[in-house]
Amino acid sequence: MSRSDFAKIKRVVIKIGSSLLTRGGQGLDKTAIAAWVGQIAHLKQQGIDVALVSSGAVAEGMCRLNLKVRPRTLHELQAAAAIGQMGLVRVFDDNFQQHGRHAAQVLLTHDDLSNRKRYLNARSTLLTLINFGVVPIINENDTVATDEIRFGDNDTLAALVANLIEAELLIILTDQKGLFTRDPSIYSDATLISEISVNDTRLETMAGESRSGLGRGGMYTKVRAARLASRSGAATIVAAGVIDDVIKKIIGGDELGTHFLPDAEPLLSRKRWLAGQLQIKGQLVLDTGAIHALKNEGKSLLPVGVKSVSGLFERGELVSCSDENGIEIARGLINYSKTETQLIAGKNSSEFESILGYLDDMELIHRDNMVLI
């Protein structure tokens, strides 16, 4: 995707770093936040879906507690995050309200996205918020995260969110202009890289660590985030957040920051991931009507077309779909467990609630979470 294509984008994830949000640790920069929110509201008016990944909770908590150095112990970090999150979300929400927009706080841990059932739950919640016209404000759940399950930095979290909601573009706003050939604070001959492939072998030597001491990220984590985002085909822009109308200018195709090019188109990349990187946990045998709907009409799989169910799977795990002769037709992430699927197999969606006592999804496997074989 070239910069000129950004004007056609329909969904974007924007990440704003701690140093930007808190003026280098001096407290929330309410003027800057108001400007970013105004730009996001402009994108929403253009019909672009936006999810915002916001750092700054710990930094704001440090400011409120008058801490000059970032805490090192986990319980102190969690306490600072809990305190800072209050002010951070309030400022964002107040600004979105001024533009007639609602925002929603979403806190995630790595475990939420590594567990397939919780992955689908998180995805469903975020997409529902987006469909309501709400801007999700996403942060790592520092208050409960432990070293074993934390993302480690919000650059990584932003990339995983881009994968989760299938965004076409990830914008990482930072206190740097982008990726340079060398550290510009040390080498006067360092030059800004305008465009580079996520697979370029030079990236490891050009990326450095965070110098602000406020966040956990650095240019290295932004390179890693660009590579993670590219798994679902998303391009990434790393740019200076202090530039006037930076978000609007990026979407407009201006040559700002560093453009990390993905190695595949969104659909191809996601389908490749579904087809080859997850373990199959169950099997569904489909009737001819369901097979025709999947192969020729591009539809989702409904339970009414399922003849039999085998294997052992939970919501969000990968299952294989075959015809009555055992020939695989498709595979995808299922919206119900094996027990639930057995109960609703062959039934119409209108019967789900009376059979299960609730209704999660109308489809057994949504077409966005399925690949034909």
Closest CA to 80 of 68, 91, 92, 94: 68
Q: Is residue 196 a contact partner of residue 258, using CB atoms and an 8 Å limit? A: yes
- The order of strands in the sheet holding 135-140 is 103-108, 135-140, 49-54, 11-16, 169-174, 235-240, 258-261, 195-197
10-residue stretch averages of pLDDT, the chain, 373 residues long: 88 92 81 96 96 86 85 83 88 96 89 71 92 93 55 80 92 91 83 91 70 52 88 91 96 94 67 65 96 94 96 91 93 93 93 88 90 84
pLDDT of residue 216: 40
Residues belonging to the chain? 373
Closest CA to 260 of 303, 298, 231: 231
d(CA 261, CA 220): 16
Q: Is residue 132 a contact partner of residue 197, using CB atoms and an 8 Å limit? A: no
Angle, CA of 176, 62 and 58, to the nearest 5°: 65
All domains in the chain, ordered by first residue: 3-269 (3.40.1160.10), 278-372 (2.30.130.10)
Q: What is the residue type of 188?
A: S
DSSP 8-state symbol, 302:
P
d(CA 80, CA 65): 8
pTM, rounded to two decimals: 0.74
The end-to-end CA distance of the chain, in Å, is: 26
Write down the residue that tokens 């006592």 correspond to: 357
